[in-house]
């Protein structure tokens, strides 16, 4: 049987070229890179000083000093990550330490072990047990800071100044309240001394 095949005259066949499969066997069945969401990672041994503008999801495992703007994507701060500056994101997950203002369009989650100092402006906020937060929270979805930060026509300078103006207004209100309390206490003290002298 094998001898017949060896001795058989060659057949006259037309050959057709089949283009090779450009996908490797490891990537078959997985979405192409354009369908996969892209992700930027700032590693644990990386320190960034300056502003970051990202048009993809961003994970911070290292240290960042500056404004992070990721308006249409998610910013994730790892457990050992550190941010000193404001963050503008669609969705935010914080497990590390932040000193700055967080402005989030959709949802902010402050996970167990996280430490946040500043103002959080988000319509949906989750503070897990074991997280530490010092500052103020505004969950009004019609907040002017949210509108200015995520409005298409408004630039980065306006969003930062709007947040700073809100912070200044809050600090002025706090100092006025403290001043009013001090004045009231002084007046009460004067009344007490006047009664004692009578």
Structure tokens belonging to residue 17:
């070229």
Kindly report which listed range (76-90, 135-149, 181-195) carries the lowest average pLDDT score.
Answer: 181-195
Q: What is the pTM of this model?
A: 0.61
pLDDT (mean) for 91-101 = 98
CB 100 within 8 A of CB 84: yes
CA dist 129 and 139 (Å) reads 19
Q: Flag whether pLDDT at 122 surpasses 80.
A: yes
CA neighbor of 135 nearest in space, from 123, 118, 122, 121:
118
More confident site: 119 or 181 = 119
């Amino acid at each position: 049987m094998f001898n017949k095949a060896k001795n058989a005259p060659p057949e006259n066949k037309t050959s057709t070229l089949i283009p090779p499969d450009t996908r490797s066997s490891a990537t078959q069945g997985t979405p192409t890179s354009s369908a996969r969401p892209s992700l930027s990672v700032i590693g644990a041994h990386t320190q960034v000083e300056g502003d970051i503008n990202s048009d993809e999801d961003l994970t911070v495992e290292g240290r960042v000093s500056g404004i992070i703007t990721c308006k249409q994507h998610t910013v994730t701060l790892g457990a050992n990550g550190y941010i000193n500056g404001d963050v503008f994101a669609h969705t935010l997950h914080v497990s590390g330490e932040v000193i700055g203002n967080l402005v989030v369009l959709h949802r902010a989650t402050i996970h167990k072990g996280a430490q946040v100092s500043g103002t959080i402006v988000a319509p949906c906020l989750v503070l897990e047990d074991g997280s530490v937060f010092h500052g103020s929270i505004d969950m009004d979805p019609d907040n002017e800071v949210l509108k200015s930060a995520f409005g298409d026509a408004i630039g980065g300078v306006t969003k930062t100044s709007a947040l700073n103006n809100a912070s200044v207004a809050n600090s002025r209100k706090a100092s006025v309240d403290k001043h009013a309390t001090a004045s009231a206490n002084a007046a009460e003290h004067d009344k007490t001394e006047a009664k004692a002298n009578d």
